[in-house]
Amino acid sequence: MSEIEVIFSPSTEDSGTFKLLELPPDLLKLVEAAVEGNSSLALSVKGGLEEDAVLCTDEKTYTMRSVVLSNSVLVVTPPQTEEGQVDRIAIRDQLHDVIELVPSLPKLHKLKGILRGAEYDEGHEDEEMDDEDIPAESSPMRRKFTYADALQLQASEGELRRGLRDMRILNVGGRLRPISPSFLNTILELILNHLVSESVPHNAVPVDQLCLALEEHEIRRTVTLQVLAWFGVIRGPSWEMNVDEVLKQVALGILRPHKDEPVSEDEFLAQWKRAVSDTFEAQVSLTLLEGNYLSTTLPNRFPALPALLYFPSSSLPIDPAARFTDLFLTRSRWKAQDIAPYLADIAVDSKERDKLLLKYARAMTDAEGVWYITRNKI
């Protein structure tokens, strides 16, 4: 039996400086691997003073929650003033809570507001900031927002990169600028035309040749390269196109004007096929557009003709309660597979999604199956 003397730490500055952080299994593995020297790990806490803190690794974001303990936990180490293996120990701090980590979604929706006014559009490529004329405090949205600024947002770097790609945000002139949807569609059109006119296979497109062709239409090389990275993979000198992504973007261009007035499904599919070359006609399918359209019928027609309305999940509120309100105002009842794409960006996995449905909707079964309806009385 060894008897070890326990003292309070001789340093008065220790109290309040310690924290206990619960490590979920996946994070534990990352930390252990990094400690053993097998990999690197960037770990940091991010957030503004007004926000709830999150913990970010290279790829994931976790919400930090303080769990109060009924007992107190003493953090005990050898007294730091001694050396070697000691025979007494010091209480450095007394803690009453532990920080729990819950996997969560990255918080990137702020980008939309921050980058409003910085859009990159045909004819407006060169809107540079003249810093001397504009005082810094006035118009925060016109201030240059860089990639380094974006790293301050509550997201891991991996999630940030993916977010910039999904939100079609360019990094040009040292600034983050979302590309205008119509300009993006113009660029894709030019790319598709190039594939046809040069008879180039879409899975091995010579990048230089393509950039030069687009430069003739005044598309900067740096922009072309970023667009290619969004819609495929660049390997050395050649680019492999992601056909589904391109088809989807072309379709959204056709669908976009139909927010209030539906377009006949047949007409839409015909237009879509015409816009892409015959090589890709067969891959055209409405499943590519999940989360962006609603099925409806053309008004004043009998028999009813199927039609589509543009309804993108990106236009819905981030807050779950507000989103469900919007969804039920748009349609009073939803089938599970129809509502799922509209919850994908606010629920981190299907378990979370089911929890949201339980909380904000009510399930109802009839002859046609299970429908979700609102919990509130409207």
Q: CA nearest 24: which of 95, 103, 97, 96? A: 103
N-to-C CA span, the chain:
71
Least distance from C-beta 141 to another protein, angstroms?
A: 21
For residue 19, what are the contacts with CB-CB under 8 A and spacing of at least 6?
95, 99
Neighbouring-strand partners of residue 170: 177
Q: Could you give the CA distance from residue 91 to residue 14 in angstroms, rounded to a whole number?
A: 9
> What DSSP element (H or E) covers 228?
helix 221-230
Contacts 24+ apart (CB under 8 A), 230-235: 230/165, 230/168, 231/188, 234/207
The verdict on 6 binding another protein (CB under 8 A) reads: yes
Is residue 313 within 8 Å of 291, Cβ to Cβ?
yes
Per-residue DSSP letter, 143: S
The verdict on 10 binding another protein (CB under 8 A) reads: yes
Q: Return the ∠ at Cα 292 (arms to 289 and 296), rounded to 5°.
A: 95
The verdict on 29 binding another protein (CB under 8 A) reads: no
Binding region for another protein (CB under 8 A) out of 19-27, 136-144, 286-294, 347-355: 19-27
Per-residue DSSP letter, 58: S
Least distance from C-beta 94 to another protein, angstroms?
A: 6
Q: Which is nearer to another protein, 153 or 192 (CB)?
A: 153
- Of residues 36-95, those binding another protein (CB under 8 A): 41-49, 55, 70-80, 82-87, 89, 91, 94
Q: Which is nearer to another protein, 110 or 194 (CB)?
A: 110
Chain length of the chain: 378
Position among 26, 28, 212, 376 found at the interface with another protein (CB under 8 A): 28
Q: Which is nearer to another protein, 4 or 367 (CB)?
A: 4
Least distance from C-beta 34 to another protein, angstroms?
A: 5
Per-residue DSSP letter, 197: H
The verdict on 236 binding another protein (CB under 8 A) reads: no
Q: Which is nearer to another protein, 12 or 337 (CB)?
A: 12
Q: Which is nearer to another protein, 111 or 357 (CB)?
A: 111
Q: Which is nearer to another protein, 154 or 185 (CB)?
A: 154
CA dihedral 106, 108, 110, 115 (to 10 degrees): 160
The verdict on 102 binding another protein (CB under 8 A) reads: no
- Of residues 142-181, those binding another protein (CB under 8 A): 151-152
Site string for another protein, 185-224 (x = CB under 8 A): ----------------------------------------
Q: Which is nearer to another protein, 17 or 203 (CB)?
A: 17
Is residue 98 within 8 Å of 67, Cβ to Cβ?
yes
Q: Which is nearer to another protein, 9 or 249 (CB)?
A: 9
Binding region for another protein (CB under 8 A) out of 7-15, 186-194, 216-224, 251-259: 7-15
The verdict on 376 binding another protein (CB under 8 A) reads: no
3-state secondary structure 303-327: CCCEEEEECCHHHCCCCHHHHHHHH
Position among 26, 31, 112, 134 found at the interface with another protein (CB under 8 A): 31
Q: CA nearest 268: which of 291, 241, 294, 242? A: 294
Least distance from C-beta 107 to another protein, angstroms?
A: 14
Output phi, psi for 239, to 5 deg: -120, 130
For residue 285, what are the contacts with CB-CB under 8 A and spacing of at least 6?
none
Least distance from C-beta 6 to another protein, angstroms?
A: 4
Binding region for another protein (CB under 8 A) out of 9-17, 230-238, 247-255, 336-344: 9-17
Least distance from C-beta 49 to another protein, angstroms?
A: 7
Sheet harboring 306-310: ordered strands across? Answer: 263-264, 306-310, 293-297
Contact footprint for another protein (CB under 8 A):
1-12, 17-25, 28, 31-32, 34-35, 41-49, 55, 70-80, 82-87, 89, 91, 94, 96, 98, 151-152
